[in-house]
């Protein structure tokens, strides 16, 4: 928050999840999206950047 990072992702390989947090107008992070095991998760900051979560966690 201190440096104004607009978006960050948490990748949890133990739970097979990806969470996205966005910096709001008040300067606080709010969870914007979460995907577990399969599905596509997309960045709001990097237009066109997306990750297929199922491919991310291939064994």
Mean pLDDT across 8-18: 96
Confirm whether 31 is domain-assigned.
yes
Cβ-Cβ contacts under 8 Å for 34 (sequence gap 6 or more): 17, 18, 19, 20
At 58, the pLDDT band (50, 70, 90 cuts) reads confident
CA angle 12, 14, 16 (to 5 degrees): 60
Judge if pTM exceeds 0.75.
Answer: yes
* Residue 40 belongs to some domain of the structure: yes
Say what the pLDDT of residue 29 is: 97
Residue 47 lies in a domain: yes
Banded pLDDT at 59 (limits 50, 70, 90)? low
Work out how many domains the chain is built from and give that number. 1
Is residue 2 included in any domain, yes or no?
A: no
Q: Is 26 inside any structural domain?
A: yes
Average pLDDT of every residue of the chain? 94
Pairing of strands 7-12, 17-23: antiparallel
């Amino acid at each position: 928050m201190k440096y104004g990072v607009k978006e960050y992702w948490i990748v949890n390989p133990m739970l097979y999840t990806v969470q996205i947090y966005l910096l709001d107008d008040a300067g606080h992070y709010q969870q914007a999206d979460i995907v577990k095991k399969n599905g596509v998760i997309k960045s709001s900051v990097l237009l066109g950047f997306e990750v297929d979560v199922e491919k991310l966690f291939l064994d």
